[in-house]
Amino acid sequence: MTHNTLTLTNREVLDTAQEGLTEHLDLKAAGYHCSSADLYRVLIGAAVQRTIIEAACAEWVDAPVGNTERGYLEEQGCVEDLPELETCLNRALASDSPRRLWRKPRGLSMDMDDRPYYGKMSQKEGF
């Protein structure tokens, strides 16, 4: 069996991720300091770095200010929309998966806690 291994650059990965997201997630921004492309780039950057929007904006030269980015995102959705958004993004990820991944069962790891907790006491005591 032959496996072709691609050599990717950071820019290629960013462009591919952004292209995939734009097909499944319709974000719009047309401001002086923030464009639709900026919304996608900052979200991807925050996801990759596992950080918050403000930190992703601070890392990127010429990025919009975190509050500007967050303002555009809040205009286009609310907390109640998150389950639907998550379903949409999961479908997007699955649609781009290579067929060979679906040929046999795979192990899976999942965080079933829908309430994030970052405290020092036990989670049960923290709520």
CB 53 within 8 A of CB 46: yes
Task: Report if residue 120 sits inside a domain.
Answer: no
Does 2 fall in a domain? no
**Domain-embedded: residue 21:** yes
Instruction: Count structural domains, the chain.
Output: 1
Least confident stretch, 21-30, 49-58, 77-86, 113-122: 113-122
Check whether 3 has a pLDDT greater than 80: no
126 is a domain residue: no
Residue pLDDT, tens place only, 65-121: 888 888 888 888 877 887 888 888 788 777 777 888 788 888 877 766 666 656 666
By residue range, what is the domain housing residue 55?
A: 10-82
Between CA 8 and CA 48 the distance in angstroms is 16
108 within domain boundaries: no
Sign of CA pseudo-dihedral 57, 61, 65, 68:
negative
Average pLDDT over residues 17-30: 84
